[in-house]
A and B are shown apart, each in its own frame.
Chain A
Amino acid sequence: MLNSAVLNELRAALGPDGPSLPSGLITATNQLQTYECDGLTNMRALPSAVVLPRTAEQVQAIVRICDQHRIPFVARGAGTGLSGGALPAQGGIVISFARMNRILEIDIPNQRVVVEPGVVNAHVTDAVAAHGYFYAPDPSSQTVCTIGGNVAENAGGAHCLKYGFTTTHVLAMDVVLPNGELVTFGSSAPDAPGYDLTGVFVGSEGTLGVATKITLRIVKRPETVQVLLAAFDSTTAAAQSVSDIIAAGMLPAALEMMDRLSARASEAAVHPNYPVCEALLLVELDGPEAEVKAQMAEATDLCRKNGAWEVRLAQTAQERGLIWKGRKAAFAAMGRISPNYIVQDGVIPRTALPEVLTAMSRMAAEVQLRIANVFHAGDGNLHPMVLYDQAIPGQEEIALDLSYRILYLCVDHGGSITGEHGVGKEKQQAMGYMFSEPDLDTMQLVRRAFDPHNLANPDKLFPRTRLCGEKPGPYTPHPLETAGVAEFF
């Protein structure tokens, strides 16, 4: 725990509380428990304190205190992350951006918006919608997740197939480095001379510092949006349709697939009126009306050619919304068909989809578990959900092991262990499967330049040093640790 002198320093850094302002420093255990995990709820740690700064200067003062006393810190937005990125460090503090949630500047002609990191993703679009613009990255949690968290994770979403990821839309940032220095990366104008520190910082999962101001690029709303729903008898036929649509030179705004189990769960949860089938394909095209119309006709033909027995074009904005509601509810809907589940986030080359799905089914059958699948099929991003029952002794371990083996399967097919959820705490050991030691050592050069004392979100993203004889996969205590002979530090 932090001693009273440090707490007093933090209190002073946050400034005096106004008469109507609650304290920006939390130390009571029952309140700290709110911050003990993020969206990955099976990993928890209690922070020593939580601070809620209102300004970049306060963030700077807090980080300076951390640097001086070598206290680890973890930045937190809405805590919706799915890989434990906002999991507190043992004995460390959490910097919550809940109070830095102002949109600072809107420049419609230059298509830029300047925000504080605590601004909710969807609020950026709300602020510019009247001018015919939107903020493109749309993670499923967009109505609650914050831009600061999106920057840390390089968040994607269903529409990044066409519009790109968070990194495509961040132009500049003010960042408090782990030594407390406040610096600016990038600029509103393109190509700020120097290394592309914005590019490196976005997606670094809070390990290189804390962003306090972010300049975003916004995008003009397309003239027309159309959504097609197609039902297939096999995921292979749906996957072939995805390849054919891409091969025809189209770049859909979104290409999503759901298998029988996930479609059934969504149907039970939000009643999107999905047909009962082995694979559902959702194709969204946007752009000039005449272009969308012509391409949608072609996409429909391609789906039919691959055996789609029902092809439904949403006729109204309401129908379109309902189709998407079912897709976006897929994770939460799993509760309808299974007491517990683990979501994974592997990526494979699109063409490997049929082969990987077959292998996944086999692996699940071998351990007698079910897997429900939701994919961003257009960019090969799989979200397999391993269903299990915590009440059955040993089943959670089997499910966890299966979920990691699925990631390795993705890597074996030339893919990645994460497409948008981040490595965080959850997949840090899997990094060693995807990257070689020289690759990871080179990444550490960046880490050391930014954070020589390893204070910013420590023990995340990179694998922990392995002891001889340690098993790969999720962290398990080494027998030497259990015996008290060796320990990690």
Chain B
Amino acid sequence: MALIQHRFDALRTHLATLETGEHNGRITVSPKNTEEVAALTRYASEQKLTIEILGAGTKREMGHAADADILLYMTKLAGVVAHSWQDLTATVSAGTPWVTMQRALAQHHQYVALDPLWPETATVGGIIATNDSGALRLKYGSLRDLIIGMTIVLADGTIAKSGGKVVKNVAGYDLHKLMTGAFGTLGVITEVNFRLHPLPAETRIWTATSSAAEPLGDLMMMVLDSQLSTQAMQLRAHINGYALDVQLATLPEVLTLQGERLNDLAQHASSKTNGTFEVSQTSDPKVFTAREDLFTEAGVVIKATMLPSSIALLSSEAVQLGGTAVTQATGIMFARFNEDTAAAAISALQASIRATGDGSLTVLRSAHTAGSPWGDIAADPLTREIKRQFDPHHILNPGRFLGGI
């Protein structure tokens, strides 16, 4: 404790203008701008103090726990810095809650076309660091396709920018792509430039339900192969049955036509099954937050990725293994299993993913401390070398990433 107090006093002396505090015996720092973040990492680097970077902390349990000397709270770096609505771009501070950003952009009927987990609280920086994405990814792509520039602070206090404020730009390495999904192990994201999309004129959601996954999987593949204006699609799998949600987005008059075509496809899919099969239109947009519901109950939550053609098969397998799953049509499954059966379910699902082709499985939440959230995925020499170049003393989110990086 004396050591911590000593370090805390030293840090306060050196960074007198920074807002600091203490939490559970750790030093907390809440910088208000990029320069303050840089001053902190530079000092920490010199003193070999480790830093855990936190937004709202909604995904703090994903990855290994980072045991660090300093908690770096990013929430004071908040706000939409610039919204060039005529250019469909915006610059946003990393600590901004996602929904705050979207509300500001909506004033000009625009948005960042991504639907992450817990948008009310999760911050822009945290969503990027964990490379979260929702069902909208089917139409608009992932963060890789939506981020056009970034300001980052390296472990040694260097402030670097990559990309820019224009959508089309191939000058230099895309450091922002390296930072996306790096769990804060390569640098601190302080500001982000997004490309924006106009809010769709109108959207409608249809839900098809069945006692079996297979006909819904067939329908999903037919919709993927169609020319419908699909912006989001997911297959929900539960012991009580399966549901396929399809969201179309286009002009109101076109939606009516497309709804009829979707019904035709559904009829075709249902004719191939003996089980129940129903289609209805829903007005509840909450249906696409179904993956959040997986986290509301106790249990192990995993993320599995697969080819779209394997979604129905692996969904029904998840149910057979005692789980509940929501799988986006891009091939990203979120599933929950009971703590006591999770280990067996995970290894069975892992084997099936391998058998069906490409994919991976990571554990997003587990009460067990044993085992790695990154499963059996190790860090290759190149990944380790990149980490060594960016953060030679391993001060940023130490141990959080795969391979203990």
Measuring CB to CB, which residues of chain A are less than 8 angstroms from any residue of chain B?
107-112, 132, 153-154, 156, 160, 164-165, 167-168, 172, 177, 181, 183, 187-197, 199-200, 202-204, 220-223, 243, 246-247, 249-251, 287-288, 290-291, 294-295, 347-351, 376, 379-381, 414-423, 427, 431, 434-436, 438-443, 445-450, 461
Q: Can you give 28 contacting A-B residue pairs, CB < 8 Å?
A: A109-B225, A109-B309, A164-B145, A167-B174, A167-B177, A168-B141, A187-B360, A189-B307, A191-B131, A191-B181, A195-B178, A196-B181, A200-B173, A204-B173, A220-B227, A249-B198, A288-B229, A294-B253, A349-B89, A379-B167, A415-B166, A416-B169, A418-B170, A434-B171, A439-B172, A442-B152, A442-B175, A450-B382
CB-defined contacts of A446 to chain B, threshold 8 Å: 173, 175, 178, 386, 389
A443 near B84 with CB under 8 A, answer no
B221 on the A face (CB < 8 A)? yes
User: Scoring B residues 300 to 330 as 1 if CB is less than 8 Å from chain A, else 0, what string do you get?
Assistant: 0001011111000000000000000000001
B197 near A189 with CB under 8 A, answer no
Answer whether A199 and B172 are a contact pair too, CB < 8 Å, given A192-B360, A416-B164, A438-B159: no
A419 near B169 with CB under 8 A, answer yes
A195 near B182 with CB under 8 A, answer yes
Which of B159, B169, B383 has the most A CB atoms < 10 Å from its CB? B169
Task: Give the CA-CA distance A434 to B233 in the complex, in Å.
Answer: 40
- Closest CB of chain B to A175's CB: distance in Å? 9
B275 on the A face (CB < 8 A)? no
B20 on the A face (CB < 8 A)? no
B166 near A414 with CB under 8 A, answer yes
A351 near B382 with CB under 8 A, answer no
Task: Give the CA-CA distance A353 to B303 in the complex, in Å.
Answer: 45
Answer whether A200 and B178 are a contact pair too, CB < 8 Å, given A183-B382, A191-B131, A290-B253: yes
- Closest CB of chain B to A57's CB: distance in Å? 19
A423 near B171 with CB under 8 A, answer yes
Answer whether A291 and B250 are a contact pair too, CB < 8 Å, given A193-B402, A350-B86, A351-B84: yes
A200 near B177 with CB under 8 A, answer yes
Task: Give the CA-CA distance A222 to B250 in the complex, in Å.
Answer: 14
How many chain B residues touch the partner (CB < 8 A)?
Answer: 82
B393 on the A face (CB < 8 A)? no
Task: Give the CA-CA distance A154 to B390 in the complex, in Å.
Answer: 24
Task: Give the CA-CA distance A441 to B159 in the complex, in Å.
Answer: 10
A222 near B201 with CB under 8 A, answer no
B168 near A381 with CB under 8 A, answer yes
- Closest CB of chain B to A474's CB: distance in Å? 16
A290 near B171 with CB under 8 A, answer no
CB-defined contacts of A448 to chain B, threshold 8 Å: 389
CB-defined contacts of B251 to chain A, threshold 8 Å: 290-291, 294-295
CB-defined contacts of B167 to chain A, threshold 8 Å: 379-380
B154 on the A face (CB < 8 A)? yes
CB-defined contacts of B180 to chain A, threshold 8 Å: 196, 199
CB-defined contacts of B348 to chain A, threshold 8 Å: none
CB-defined contacts of A202 to chain B, threshold 8 Å: 174
Partner of B172, one of A168, A221, A435, A449: A435
Task: Give the CA-CA distance A294 to B201 in the complex, in Å.
Answer: 13
Task: Give the CA-CA distance A473 to B253 in the complex, in Å.
Answer: 54
Give residues of chain B (218-248) contacting chain A, Cβ–Cβ below 8 Å.
221, 224-229
B224 near A111 with CB under 8 A, answer yes
Task: Give the CA-CA distance A474 to B123 in the complex, in Å.
Answer: 43
A222 near B181 with CB under 8 A, answer no
B26 on the A face (CB < 8 A)? no
Answer whether A199 and B174 are a contact pair too, CB < 8 Å, given A188-B358, A194-B402, A416-B164: yes
